[in-house]
């Protein structure tokens, strides 16, 4: 065969290869299939058909143009990009039955899929305000089973069960996921849950969900190799939350950076669910504001292992608590959690006297007993210490003003502080504490370097209280507060190295 004939033959062969070889996408505009963006027409079957066809092509793109496209539950498939154009709105149904007769399916679901994405400048709207009306109508009519909706939960609130309120997004057992550019809003449960997934990228998205309780912004559950960057979150529950619900799984290799978070719970949280644990977690450059609970919450309470967590460059204003680190044991079996090797650096937090999220649609629950402003805390429980924690370059500014007329715990009553081993972990769990800045109990190896705490108004409490600490290093500690009480209290503290003015220190043996 001549060389020229061979070339022509190869060209013909290449011409008939699937388009995916060249990275080309089969593009399907949902309007071309009959979808109507009037906010009324049910487009579920049409959009599902577009996704199925795009997936079958091996490399397809589903285009959602400008308009408001109403759907029930949609299943995302492998090898598909769903692109929401600017001014496109994917609107969830306001009919509870459209999410299933019993447990509510999320609006957007993918299970066991791979290589898919949701991109663009459009909006996914869970339609929570209208959907909750229909849920309550069904509950009142007795057409929806729910054992909780008429009882008060531990936060003195009523709400339908979680299983009756749809998440907006659930991706489970999936690989190679990309969510970029979109806005997600108005949920009734967790806004988005990435569960037992690998290789997840979430970039430059907005979350606006203060519609109802449990509106977590982003939940990463037992997933590995995750990047969350450049996101802007305003939500009624935890902002960016890592969870572990499976004993032999966990979150690993997670990177979070350059995000802005507002929460009526905690802004950055590892836990509360912590059955398998968290490993190799890196968090950088986060802005937190108007947040009810902690700027940083790190929790292991269900038998999991939490280790190698590095958090740096956090700026938080008008936030109820700076740092909360907790090792507990609320699981019924005998497996004890472990919490170790945590590094937190370059943090500045401003703590107000009042409620930081006051005026937002779903405020955090009021603590039902008198108390002064709660300090940051690092705590394990007797015989099971938190291990190897370093806090450096941390500045916390408090309004101060704690006084005994509101609540009082004398410094000689440290043994009366409840352990609360099996309780829900949060910064108010121990009740009134004898410290206004940091309370530390049951810890091995704690390094505090270049720590500045400032109480603008006098507080009856001390700045730092340490109880049962082995291996305490303190250097370059700055305490600004006008009260004459000793500012550092130690009980059962051994192997210590303290570089601080002795006039601010008093020991209790």
Per-residue model confidence as pLDDT tens digits over 110-123: 999 999 999 999 99
Q: Per-residue pLDDT for 8 more than 50?
A: no
CB count in 10 Å sphere of residue 144: 21
Q: With the C-alpha atoms ordered 256, 257, 259, 265, is the resulting torsion angle positive or negative?
A: positive
CB 71 within 8 A of CB 42: yes
Six-digit token pair at 73?
Answer: 């539950």
Six-digit token pair at 420?
Answer: 């609360």
Reported as a pLDDT band with limits 50, 70 and 90, residue 23 is low
From first CA to last CA, the distance across the chain in angstroms is 96
Provide the Cα torsion 131, 196, 311, 259; round to 10°. -40
Calpha distance 367→266 (Å, rounded)? 15
Residue 6: what pLDDT?
40
CB 300 within 8 A of CB 271: yes
Reported as a pLDDT band with limits 50, 70 and 90, residue 454 is very high
Identify the CA nearest to 181 among candidates 227, 228, 121. 121
Reported as a pLDDT band with limits 50, 70 and 90, residue 504 is low
How far are the Cα atoms of 95, 128, 167, 353 from residue 90, in angstroms, in the given order? 15, 13, 14, 41
CB 473 within 8 A of CB 496: yes
Reported as a pLDDT band with limits 50, 70 and 90, residue 200 is very high
Phi, psi of 132 (to 5 degrees): -65, -30
- Report CA 278 to chain centroid distance, whole Å: 13
The least confident of 52-56, 226-230, 361-365 is 361-365
- Higher local confidence (pLDDT), 257 or 353: 257
DSSP label at 31? G
Identify the CA nearest to 128 among candidates 164, 158, 79, 102. 164
Q: Is 11 exposed, middle or buried (0-12, 13-18, 19+ CB in 10 A)?
A: exposed
Q: Per-residue pLDDT for 22 more than 50?
A: no
Mean pLDDT value of segment 19-27: 62
* DSSP one-letter string for 138-192: HHHHT-S--SSTTS--TTS-----GGGS--SEEEES-EEEEEES-EEE--SS-SE
226 - beta bridge partners? 200, 254
Reported as a pLDDT band with limits 50, 70 and 90, residue 154 is low
Residue 16: what pLDDT?
33
Q: Per-residue pLDDT for 9 more than 60?
A: no
Question: Tokens 């979070």, residue?
Answer: 256
Reported as a pLDDT band with limits 50, 70 and 90, residue 465 is very high
Residue 451: what pLDDT?
97
Calpha distance 444→447 (Å, rounded)? 10
Calpha distance 151→22 (Å, rounded)? 58
Calpha distance 210→293 (Å, rounded)? 16
161 - beta bridge partners? none
Residue 68: helix, strand or coil by DSSP?
A: strand
Q: With the C-alpha atoms ordered 21, 23, 29, 30, is the resulting torsion angle positive or negative?
A: positive
Q: Give this prediction's pTM.
A: 0.93
Q: Given the DSSP bridges, would you call strands 38-42 and 232-235 parallel, antiparallel or unpaired?
A: unpaired
Provide the Cα torsion 447, 452, 457, 459; round to 10°. 10
Identify the CA nearest to 207 among candidates 194, 195, 190. 190
The least confident of 19-28, 132-141, 203-212, 340-349 is 19-28
Reported as a pLDDT band with limits 50, 70 and 90, residue 278 is very high
Calpha distance 141→134 (Å, rounded)? 10
How far are the Cα atoms of 101, 109, 249 from residue 49, in angstroms, in the given order? 23, 15, 34
Q: Per-residue pLDDT for 183 more than 50?
A: yes
Q: How many CA atoms lie within 13 A of 57 on its CB side?
A: 20
Residue 51: helix, strand or coil by DSSP?
A: helix
Mean pLDDT value of segment 26-54: 98
Q: Per-residue pLDDT for 326 more than 70?
A: yes
Q: Per-residue pLDDT for 10 more than 80?
A: no
Six-digit token pair at 167?
Answer: 């998440």
Phi, psi of 5 (to 5 degrees): -70, -35
Q: Per-residue pLDDT for 73 more than 80?
A: yes
Q: What percent of the chain has pLDDT over 90?
A: 86
Q: Per-residue pLDDT for 156 more than 80?
A: no
Residue 155: what pLDDT?
64
351 - beta bridge partners? 398
CB 275 within 8 A of CB 304: yes
CB 291 within 8 A of CB 266: yes
Q: Per-residue pLDDT for 410 more than 90?
A: no
- Report CA 160 to chain centroid distance, whole Å: 22
Q: Per-residue pLDDT for 103 more than 50?
A: yes
Calpha distance 464→213 (Å, rounded)? 34
Residue 157: what pLDDT?
73
Residue 11: what pLDDT?
34
Calpha distance 14→218 (Å, rounded)? 44
Reported as a pLDDT band with limits 50, 70 and 90, residue 153 is confident
257 - beta bridge partners? 229, 284
Q: What percent of the chain has pLDDT over 70?
A: 93
């Amino acid at each position: 065969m001549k060389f020229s004939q061979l070339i022509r033959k190869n060209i013909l062969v290449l011409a008939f290869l699937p388009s995916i070889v060249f990275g080309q996408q089969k593009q399907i505009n949902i309007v071309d299939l009959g979808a109507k963006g009037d906010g009324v027409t049910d487009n579920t079957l049409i959009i599902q058909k577009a996704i199925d066809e795009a997936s079958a092509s091996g490399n397809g793109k589903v285009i959602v143009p400008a308009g408001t496209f109403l759907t029930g539950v949609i299943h995302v498939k492998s090898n598909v990009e769903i692109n929401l154009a600017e001014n496109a709105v994917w609107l969830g149904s306001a009919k509870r039955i459209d999410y299933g007769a019993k447990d509510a399916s999320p609006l957007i679901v993918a299970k066991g899929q791979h290589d898919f994405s949701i991109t663009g400048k459009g909006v996914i709207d869970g339609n929570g305000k209208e959907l909750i009306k229909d849920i309550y109508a069904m509950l009142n009519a007795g057409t929806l089973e729910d054992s909780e909706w008429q009882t008060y939960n531990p936060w003195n609130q009523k709400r339908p069960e979680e299983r009756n309120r749809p998440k907006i997004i659930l991706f489970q057992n999936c690989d190679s996921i990309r969510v970029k550019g979109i806005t997600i809003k108005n949920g009734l449960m967790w806004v988005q849950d990435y569960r037992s997934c690998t290789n997840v990228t979430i970039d430059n998205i907005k979350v606006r969900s203060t519609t109802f309780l449990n509106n977590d912004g982003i939940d990463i559950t037992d997933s590995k190799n995750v990047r969350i960057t450049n996101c802007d979150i305003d939500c009624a529950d935890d902002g960016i939350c890592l969870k572990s619900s499976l004993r032999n799984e966990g979150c690993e290799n997670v990177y979070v950076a350059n995000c802005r978070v507002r929460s009526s719970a905690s802004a950055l949280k590892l836990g509360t669910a912590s059955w398998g644990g968290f490993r190799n977690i890196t968090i950088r450059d986060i802005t937190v504001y108007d947040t009810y609970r902690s700027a940083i919450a790190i929790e292991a309470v269900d038998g999991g292992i939490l280790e190698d967590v590095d958090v740096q460059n956090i700026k938080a204003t008008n936030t109820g608590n700076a740092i909360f680190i907790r090792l507990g044991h609320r699981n019924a079996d005998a497996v004890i959690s472990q919490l170790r090797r945590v590094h937190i650096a370059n943090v500045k937090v401003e703590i107000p006297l009042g409620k930081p999220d006051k005026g937002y649609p779903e405020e955090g629950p009021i603590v039902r007993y008198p108390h002064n402003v709660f300090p940051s805390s690092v705590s394990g429980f007797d015989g099971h210490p938190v291990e190897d924690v370093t806090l450096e370059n941390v500045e916390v500014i408090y309004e101060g003003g704690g006084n005994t007329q509101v609540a009082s715990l004398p410094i000689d009553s440290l043994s009366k502080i409840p352990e609360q081993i099996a309780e829900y972990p949060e910064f108010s769990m121990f009740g009134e504490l004898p410290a206004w800045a940091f309370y530390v109990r049951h810890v091995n190896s704690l390094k505090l370097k270049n720590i500045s705490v400032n109480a603008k108004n006098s507080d009856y409490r001390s700045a730092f209280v340490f109880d049962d600490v082995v291996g305490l290093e303190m250097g370059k500690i700055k305490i600004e507060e006008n009260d004459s009480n000793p500012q550092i209290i130690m009980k059962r503290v051994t192997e210590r190295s303290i570089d601080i003015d002795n006039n601010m220190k008093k020991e209790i043996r």
